[in-house]
Amino acid sequence: MSPSTQLNRSALAPMKTVPLSYILRNLWVRRVTTVLTAGGMALVVFVFSVVLMMSEGIRATLVATGQPDNVMVLRKGAGAEINSGIGRDQAAVMSTLPGIATDGAGRKLFSPEPVVLNSLPKRSNGKPANITVRGTSADIVLTLRPQVHLTQGRMFRTGTSEIIAGSAVARGFARVEIGQTLHFAGRDWLVVGLFDAGRSGFDSEIWGDAEQMLQAFRRSGYSSVVFKLADTDRFEATRDAIESDPRLTMEAKPEQRFYAEQSELLSKFIRYLGLFLSAIFSIGAIVGAMITMFAAVAQRTGEIGTLRALGFRRGAVLMAFLGESLGLSLVGGLIGVGGASFMQNVNISTTNFQTFSEIAFRFQLTPSIAIETLLFSLFMGLVGGFIPAWNAARMNIVDCLRAA
């Protein structure tokens, strides 16, 4: 067999790969450096995960506020309930629409509601913050919004200055307790009940009788109208009937879609801000991984020469060192995601840019967020480890063995 034939066969032979055990052993031998480098990446991944969880928590809270068979009606062009206005005569016209569901007593599940902002002092620091005050109907509101249920006390009575408060309001604001009196809109309101809305936006609201709210806040009309459809397939026909009526000049949306849109501005702002900060922090983590891998290459020139002498090609050496860098980043990613998962037990509130009121929510970790953060971590490891791995692969065999 000629030398040229042997050379061609050698070139066609499959490339030997460095065993995974070799890569893992090197990470363990340098465990202090491994922990420190992975820890830096974990902090970046933690920030990245928390930002995504915060954005998802806000979105999930507001989406859960709506019901799939409820219709929300606002004045055309109004981006939120506080910017909308619906006259009494217009609400009366909409109440005659066909297809509105009824409860067991034969009452239409139709609720014209005034919605206003009111300022109350926070429990933590006594500083005032805006909350949403909603006027509704005591008779049908729990049927119209089945995710809401009373946890303490009773429902407010029609025609009285009684109110019930969401669980987030009770936790976050002073004097929101059963039997306490809150003063706003020129009168005293007695807290008679607390309710839980299943981690939806209603947890951050106070409810009372609609007519009493109109009188107290000197409103001549409502902010929105909510009603339940007997058949969700009739939504398109109902919307067309509302939007084509010249007396109404209203816009109808499924309640779930309306509340999903309410979350877009805030959740996007938080997400983009977080991505920007994570990108800045990731530069430090990438530089740290690069320094660690350069140090590893410098300390193991003899090993690199031995691997090459044993027949491992440049590509195998590159993949071995790149595998170490990816291993570092994977450890950091898992630690970061694991730490971020504990944030799901934390309640937090912020101001919704759409309504200018406080909204309480929880951080929410989803499988897609976990995957995104791990991919982000692996990307940092790939960028930080490629140049050192490339340098290791380009080393000359003889020079490496001499350096050993």
Neighbours of 382 (CB within 10 A): 16
Q: Which letter, b or e, does each residue of 251-278 get, where b requires 16 or more Cβ atoms within 10 Å of its Cβ?
A: bbbbbbebbbebbeebbeebbeebeeeb
Collect all residues with Cβ–Cβ distance below 8 Å to 242 and sequence separation of at least 6: 73, 94, 97, 248, 250, 251, 252
User: Rg of the chain's alpha carbons, rounded to an integer?
Assistant: 31
**CA distances (Å), 66 to each of 62, 81, 164, 214, 283, in order?**
7, 14, 19, 24, 41
The pLDDT value given to residue 393:
78
The pLDDT value given to residue 111:
95
Q: Are the beta carbons of 196 and 167 closer than 8 angstroms?
A: yes
In sequence order, the β-bridge partners of residue 112 are: 225
The pLDDT value given to residue 6:
38
Q: What is the pLDDT of residues 143-189, one digit of tens each?
A: 999 999 999 999 999 999 999 999 999 999 999 999 999 999 989 99
Q: What is the pLDDT of residues 249-294, one digit of tens each?
A: 999 999 988 888 887 777 888 888 888 888 888 888 888 888 877 8
The pLDDT value given to residue 5:
42
The pLDDT value given to residue 20:
59
Q: Are the beta carbons of 158 and 148 closer than 8 angstroms?
A: no
The pLDDT value given to residue 336:
92
> Among 192, 194, 180, which residue's Cα sits nearest to residue 151?
194
The pLDDT value given to residue 404:
56
Residue 262 CA neighbour count, 13 Å, CB half: 30
Q: How far apart are CA 241 and CA 73, in angstroms?
A: 12
Regions of the chain with pLDDT less than 50? 1-13
What's the pTM value of the predicted model, to 2 decimals? 0.76
First to last CA, the chain: 36
Q: Tell me phi and psi for residue 216, to 5 degrees.
A: -65, -40
The pLDDT value given to residue 279:
84
The pLDDT value given to residue 353:
66
